[in-house]
Amino acid sequence: MNNAGLAYLQQHRRRYLTWAKAIEPDLTDPAQVWERLAFSILSANAKFENAAQALAYARQHRGMVEPVRLAGFGGGITRSRALFINALPSGQAVLDLLKGADESWSDYRLRLTKVSGLGMAKASFAACLLYPLESEVCCLDIWMLKLLGERAPSRWRRGRYEALEAQIKAVARHVKLALFPAQWALWDHIRGHMEPHKIFMVRGRENIK
């Protein structure tokens, strides 16, 4: 972790906390749970903007997402993701993919990796989108690994992932910020621009800056 990343996080701490609050979902609403899982699948090794456009399409064609149409959004989105998204539970059944009251965050993430299309990083991202102020796991995508001076392995070992994740947790504790908004800020810092995730802002919070 470099000093520039820490300085950015300290400077923009309040902004990212505000954004995290703005995207908190209603976890009794199956649509909000479904779309966060779907976006986590879509955004794997894909550009955020393209994944956001693809999600808008998937929202309108839930359960009937066409592979060719989905891949047409580009940015790294593949046809196979249509199959993964169509396989997500429908209706109230998707709520079974929420965290159990007695389930640890590590075990919850591991359970989410059983959802087709979610590896360790994107299962973590799904947990963060569902619980932006509570999640105790974080998404170590290629940008976060770059920040940590690491390369993405061909296959994650749980212990290695958690060891790297612990570095982000330490930074979050240092600035007294929840893990996801801290990781979010560092992700924006290493990419060089801010992404407020407005596609998930609850109605009435769209104009938060």
Per-residue pLDDT tens digits for 80-121: 999 999 999 999 999 999 999 999 999 999 999 999 999 999
Output the CA–CA distances (angstroms, integers) from residue 51 to 48, 55, 67, 87, 188, in the order listed.
5, 6, 14, 18, 16
| Residue 22 token pair | 């703005």
Tokens of 35: 């779309």
Residue 204: the pLDDT is: 47
Instruction: Please state the rounded mean pLDDT for residues 187-206.
Output: 82
Q: With contact defined as beta carbons under 8 Å apart, do 188 and 9 qualify?
A: no
For residue 77, give the 3-state DSSP assignment. Answer: coil
Instruction: Check whether 202 has a pLDDT greater than 80.
Output: no
Q: Which long-range contacts (CB under 8 A, 24 or more apart) does 55-62 make?
A: 55/199, 56/199, 58/85, 59/31, 59/35, 62/34, 62/90
Listed in order, strand segments (DSSP E) in the chain are none
pLDDT at residue 154 is higher than 90:
no
Average pLDDT of the chain to the nearest whole number: 93
Give me the sign of the Cα torsion angle 14, 32, 142, 158: positive
Query: Is the pLDDT confidence value at 201 over 90?
Result: no
The topology under which CATH files domain 1-25+132-209 is: Endonuclease Iii, domain 2 (1.10.1670)
Convert 119-150 to b/e letters by CB count within 10 Å (16 or more is b): bbbbbbbbbbbbbbeebbbbbbbebbbebbee
Q: What percent of the chain has pLDDT over 70?
A: 96
Task: Give CA–CA dist 168/23, Å, rounded.
Answer: 21
Burial class (CB in 10 A: 0-12, 13-18, 19+), 60: exposed
Q: What is the DSSP letter of 115?
A: S
Q: Structure pTM?
A: 0.93
Q: How many CB atoms lie within 10 A of CB 117?
A: 22
pLDDT (mean) for 29-38: 96
Mapping DSSP to helix (H, G, I), strand (E, B) and coil, where does residue 178 land?
coil
